[in-house]
C-alpha cells in the first residue's frame, strides 16, 4: 500500500493541527495544536458546547475573563489529545501593549494550572508587533514559552529570534493572498509562492545562525505549499488540508534541511530599525494590521455570544 503524503511529512516535520475541533485532532494525531480567536469562535459555536459556555460565562467576572476561560477550557481539552504544545492567544486588543500582554500571559498560565495543565505544555501566542515581541522577550525569561504569530516580514523574524521566542508562525497563505491580489496574472505555484519563499528565507537564517527558535509555517492555501516546505521544523495545518494530505500518495522529497542552510549577518534590530523595515515592507504592514483586525472581529463575536449566554 502506498504511503500517504501526511505519513511521509510526519517523518521529517512535526505536524501541528490548526484547529479547535477535537474530532479532527483525534483523527490526525498531531504532535501539537494551535488555536487563535477565529478557531476558538468556531469551536465555541458547536451546539454540544453551549451548556458549558453558558456556565463559564455566568461564572466569569466580565467578558474579557469569560473569553480567556473559554480559550483555556478548549485548550485544556486539546491538551489531553496531543502530547506536545497547545497554543493559546492573548487578546488582539493587547497587540500594542507590552505590559498588558505580559500580564495576560501570566493570567492564562494560571488558568491552565487550575485545569491541571503545566506551563511547559502551553505556548502563549501574540502578534509579532514590536510590543508583542518585547513582551515575549520578558515572558521567556519568566519561564513562559511564546508563539509569535501574524508574522509576514523578515524583520519580524529577526526580532523574534533576538528576543528568544520559543516558536514563530510565519503565515504562508496570507502572503500569497496579498501578492495574488496585486499581481493576479502571475504564476505563484510551487517554488514561486512568495509565502513559501518567505519561510525558506527565515528557516535558512535561523539555522545558519544557530537560533533555537522553532519555525512553524502556518496559514496554508493548498497542499502544494506544504509539500514545498517539507522538512520545516513544524507546520500547522487545517483539518481540510490534513485530510487531503492523508488521502494523497506519491513521493514527498525533503525541501528544507538545516545542513544546507546559510545566512547573512545577524545584528540585532533596534526599535527604529524594526519599524522602518516594516514600513518599507508594504505586504507585511498590510497583513499584520489586517490580521489583528480580523482576530479582534472574531473575538468580538465570541464576546457577543458569551454576553447572550451570560444574560440568558
Q: Which helix (H) or strand (E) holds 198?
A: helix 194-209
Nearest to 238 by CA among 14, 21, 9, 87: 21
Catalytic residue, chosen from 10, 104, 125, 180, is 125
Cα–chain center distance at 3? 28
User: Please, what is the end-to-end C-alpha distance for the chain in angstroms?
Assistant: 54
Nearest to 156 by CA among 133, 138, 174: 133
* Contact predicate 22/80, CB 8 Å: no
| Alpha helices per DSSP H over 14-153 | 22-28, 37-44, 50-59, 63-79, 98-114, 130-141
With b meaning 16 or more CB within 10 Å and e meaning fewer, what string describes 181-203? eeeeeeebeeeebbbbebbbebb
Query: Is 125 one of the annotated active-site residues of the chain?
Result: yes
Report the distance separating Cα 172 and Cα 154, nearest Å. Answer: 13
Report the distance separating Cα 150 and Cα 131, nearest Å. Answer: 13
Which residues have CB under 8 Å from 234's CB, separation 6+?
13, 14, 15, 16, 31, 32, 167, 214, 215, 216, 217
How many Å is the maximal CA-CA distance in the chain?
A: 59
Beta strands 234-237 and 214-217 are parallel
Residues annotated as part of the active site: 125
Amino acid at each position: 500500500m502506498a504511503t500517504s503524503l501526511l505519513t511521509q511529512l510526519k517523518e521529517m516535520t512535526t505536524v501541528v493541527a490548526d484547529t479547535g475541533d477535537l474530532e479532527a485532532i483525534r483523527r490526525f494525531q498531531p504532535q501539537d495544536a494551535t488555536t487563535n480567536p477565529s478557531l476558538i469562535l468556531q469551536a465555541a459555536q458547536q451546539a454540544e458546547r453551549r451548556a458549558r459556555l453558558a456556565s463559564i460565562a455566568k461564572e466569569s467576572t466580565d467578558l474579557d475573563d469569560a473569553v480567556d476561560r473559554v480559550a483555556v477550557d478548549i485548550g485544556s481539552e486539546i491538551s489531553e489529545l496531543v502530547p506536545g504544545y497547545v497554543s493559546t492567544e492573548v487578546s488582539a486588543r493587547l497587540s500594542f501593549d507590552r505590559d498588558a500582554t505580559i500580564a495576560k500571559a501570566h493570567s492564562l498560565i494560571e488558568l491552565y494550572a487550575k485545569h491541571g495543565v503545566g506551563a511547559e505544555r502551553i505556548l502563549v501566542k501574540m502578534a509579532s508587533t514590536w510590543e508583542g515581541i518585547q513582551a515575549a522577550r520578558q515572558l521567556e525569561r519568566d519561564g513562559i514559552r511564546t508563539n509569535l504569530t501574524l508574522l509576514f516580514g523578515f524583520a519580524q523574524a529577526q526580532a523574534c529570534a533576538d528576543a528568544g521566542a520559543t516558536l514563530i508562525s510565519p503565515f504562508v497563505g496570507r502572503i500569497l493572498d496579498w501578492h495574488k491580489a496585486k499581481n493576479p496574472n502571475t504564476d505563484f505555484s510551487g517554488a514561486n509562492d512568495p509565502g513559501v519563499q518567505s519561510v525558506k528565507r527565515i528557516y535558512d537564517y535561523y539555522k545558519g545562525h544557530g537560533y533555537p527558535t522553532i519555525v512553524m509555517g502556518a496559514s496554508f492555501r493548498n497542499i502544494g505549499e506544504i509539500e514545498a516546505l517539507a522538512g520545516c521544523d513544524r507546520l500547522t495545518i487545517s483539518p481540510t488540508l490534513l485530510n487531503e494530505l492523508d488521502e494523497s500518495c506519491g513521493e514527498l522529497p525533503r525541501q528544507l534541511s538545516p545542513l544546507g542552510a546559510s545566512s547573512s549577518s545577524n545584528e540585532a534590530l533596534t526599535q527604529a530599525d524594526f519599524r522602518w523595515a516594516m514600513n518599507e515592507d508594504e505586504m507585511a504592514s498590510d497583513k499584520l494590521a489586517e490580521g489583528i483586525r480580523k482576530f479582534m472581529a472574531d473575538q468580538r463575536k465570541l464576546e457577543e455570544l458569551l454576553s447572550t449566554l451570560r444574560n440568558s
